[in-house]
Amino acid sequence: MQSRLQAYYVRAFPAMQDVQIGELTSISAGWESEMYSLDVEYGPAGARRRAAQILRIYPGDDAHDKSAHEFHGMKRLYQAGYPVPQVLALERENSPFGQPFVIMEKIDGQVLWPLLFNSSGKKQQELLTLFCNLFVQLHTLDWRPFVDDAASYEAKGPYVFVDQWLDLGRDVVARSPTSGFLPVVEWLEERRDDVPCPQPSLVHLDFHPGNVLLRDDGAAFVVDWTQLRVSDPRFDLAWTLLLVGTHEDARWRDVILHEYERLAGITVEQLAYFDVFACIKRLVSVAISLSDRPERFGMRPAAVAMMKQQMGAIRRVYDLLLERTGLRVPEIEAMLASVHGQA
């Protein structure tokens, strides 16, 4: 693998004189990609330079589009001054690994999740404010440079994003092992008119402290942008609160929401409706990861083991869905019972 990457660098980066690739170290931790860190050394003798970089390889049937989407999205975010790693290369057609990949700068920092939840007092409040400020900054960034025709978004009216998600929800549920979610989708459709979008925003759709890296100098960077799009920011916020509120103490849901509202200077309306979307997304993803072909949806095979380790949090997601809608999903209950029985 290292030799193939070495040959790629020689071809793709001709300005790097006598480029040499150091050993690749696997740092894969997510559901959807393989990631490696590497050192790149280049330049003339006596003036060699070194750079730490990341190689991200994309699996799945939609890897061709997903890799380009993340690369171009991160490039625009970087140009807009939002704190993301600088992307350096996108390779889709001539990948030496048979799968598309992106090369980006490596941020030498710590993952925010354990720092935030294991700190206390003033330090924890500082980290909470940093995290929420990154979220608010994203949602208030000018979204227009990220779409081809901004006027068309504004002309479609305040329900365009929820309608997109309702259509997607029906499609995904129909294609996944969870047809029992159709009554939940219908529940959302019946309440659609209650949730007009006041203002489009850029959304990350997996914004949590595990996707924030904190350098020693205090600078923070947000990673994992495969789902970047323009939408209603409440989809983003509901997903974040769901993850944190089910993987950590439930009180963190309100703590993060209140800090977000304080920094944004707003009160978020009708958030419970978007909680239901977040629950569907989470539970359907789990059902897919435990199905026969998770790779068809762009998930790494290791996602299966990861999901089985998180079933306590998944149970809490399902409890929230029941609390919000009163609707039961037989396939999810059977899945929870089955995994519990295997434990």
* Torsion sign, CA atoms 58, 59, 65, 69: negative
Contact 285, 330 (CB under 8 A): no
Q: What is the pLDDT of residues 42-51, one digit of tens each?
A: 999 989 999 9
152 band by pLDDT with thresholds 50, 70 and 90:
confident
SS3 helix, strand, coil % of the chain, rounded to 5? 55, 15, 30
Residues 92-109, mean pLDDT to the nearest whole number: 94
- For residue 343, the model assigns a pLDDT of 47
Residues 6+ apart with CB under 8 A from 149: none
Any idea which of 12-16, 17-21, 32-36, 63-67 has the lowest mean pLDDT? 32-36
- The helix or strand, by DSSP H or E, that contains position 227, with its residue range, turns out to be none
Query: Which residues, listed in sequence order, are joined to residue 52 by a DSSP beta bridge?
Result: 39
Considering the chain, what percentage of its residues have pLDDT values greater than 70? 92
Query: Which residues, listed in sequence order, are joined to residue 39 by a DSSP beta bridge?
Result: 52
Q: What is the pLDDT of residues 218-266, one digit of tens each?
A: 999 999 999 999 999 999 999 999 999 999 999 999 999 999 999 999 9
The pair of structure tokens assigned to 322 is 């029941």
How far apart CA 315 and CA 157 sit, in angstroms, is 36
pTM for the predicted model, two decimal places: 0.91
Local structure of residue 30 (DSSP, 8 states): S
- For residue 342, the model assigns a pLDDT of 54
Q: What is the pLDDT of residues 102-132, one digit of tens each?
A: 999 999 999 999 999 999 999 999 999 999 9
Average pLDDT, the chain: 91
Domains in the chain (CATH in brackets) are 2-105 (3.30.200.20), 109-342 (3.90.1200.10)
The pair of structure tokens assigned to 43 is 């330049």
Residues 205-224, mean pLDDT to the nearest whole number: 97
- For residue 311, the model assigns a pLDDT of 83
Cα dihedral 221/223/229/232 (nearest 10): -60
How far apart CA 133 and CA 129 sit, in angstroms, is 6
Residues 75-90, mean pLDDT to the nearest whole number: 98
Q: What is the pLDDT of residues 327-336, one digit of tens each?
A: 999 989 998 8
Residue 99 phi/psi, 5° resolution? Answer: -140, 150
- Which of 53-62, 131-140, 148-157, 292-301 has the highest mean predicted lDDT (pLDDT)? 131-140
- For residue 30, the model assigns a pLDDT of 57
- For residue 59, the model assigns a pLDDT of 86
**Nearest by Cα to 76 from 86, 61, 67, 66:** 86
What three-state secondary structure class fits 172? helix
Cα dihedral 232/112/86/217 (nearest 10): 130
